[in-house]
Amino acid sequence: MTSRQLFTIVTMFVLGVFGYAALAPSPASRPARFATGASASPSPTGPPPAYDVRPLAQPQGRYLGVALSGAPQDMSRVDRFADLVGSKPNIITIYESFDDEFAAAEVRRVHRYGALPIVRWEPFKAKLKDIAAGRHDPYLVEFAVAVRRLNLPVALTIAHEMNGHWYSWGAHNNTAKDFVAAWRHIHAVFARADATNVIWTWTPNVINPVPSVRLAPLYPGDAYVDWVGIDGYFTRRGEQTFDALFAPTITQLRKFTARPLLIVETGAEPGAMRRRAVEELFTAMRKRPDLLGFVYFNQKGSGDWVIDSDRPAVAAYRAGAAADRRLGFRVN
């Protein structure tokens, strides 16, 4: 059976389950003000309307998130982190490879906790050109249908840090047109499945290590993006203040989009810099109305970002979380 034949079969299944979805507007016809929009009225014989993510995409409060090894599979790790920093996170990161099934159980755990799951979808093996050309459509349709069937809010990043050169989907292996075409194609597949319970979160790396890669050509457009995410880390050999790390990227972003910002991944290496970095993250949220929050990567990765035993950093986190009443609202 060819991929095209398989895609046809899966698509017919989707239309059988979500028949009214075929009448949904195409991505290009959706209002530019908000990419996902509200779903149509439910059919008497169809599924319930898609979860309306607009209040979460444009919240009155602010997000304080965490990425933890072993979570959300083990939510006790989230509880321990919340006890440590004195505040329950309301965003929790889930990492998925592009060939994984949708992590429905993990998303459900995060939602029950009162947080928004942010899924980082990583196409390690799939080429962006192939995604854009529809060669992975059977998988995409299956994933989108699973997202819609669960019908809980999900923030979704796809091929994050695409302006870097450290991932297979990065700028050294792909053109900006490849990336934009792949993103828009995935968005269209989700729209046909009526999977509008998604906050589309386009997430480049801070431009500092890759200043020659312009962000504007990589941007799919406001009709396809709800949040602009940013990944950036405070390091001893690199930028050590919020302005040095994030301001150049934000300045460039604001030349082509006014979408809300979320720091989707950040952390600081050990030392006095870490306490200051944490303080400045909270200060930036208080001063910038366009900054929805940040997600602290409390794991070891390219560096040691774990703050658990760093008393000054933990104290700064607790003080920052306590000083802003907008932080930590329950998602559900």
Q: Which residues are designated catalytic?
A: 161, 265
- Let me know if 108 is exposed, middle or buried by CB neighbors in 10 A (0-12, 13-18, 19+): middle
Please report the beta strands in 175-243, taking only residues with DSSP state E, as ranges in sequence order.
198-202, 227-234
- Tokens 């979570």 label which residue? 71
Please report the beta strands in 78-209, taking only residues with DSSP state E, as ranges in sequence order.
91-97, 116-122, 154-158, 198-202
Cβ atoms of residues 154 and 147 within 8 Å = yes
- Looking at residue 141, what DSSP letter applies? H
Residue 171 and residue 177: Cα distance in Å, rounded?
11
User: First-to-last CA distance in the chain?
Assistant: 43
Residue 79 and residue 88: Cα distance in Å, rounded?
8
Distances (CA, A) of 250 to 104, 220, 238, 242, 282: 33, 17, 18, 11, 17
Q: Identify which of 57, 10, 27, 330 has the alpha carbon closest to the alpha carbon of residue 200.
A: 57
Count CB-CB contacts under 10 A for residue 322: 14
Query: Three-state SS for 178?
Result: helix
- Looking at residue 216, what DSSP letter applies? G
Backbone φ, ψ for residue 228 (5° rounding)? -105, 115
Cβ atoms of residues 216 and 256 within 8 Å = yes
Q: Which residues pair with 261 in a beta bridge?
A: 228, 291
Q: Number of H helices and number of E strands within the chain?
A: 10, 8
Count CB-CB contacts under 10 A for residue 127: 17
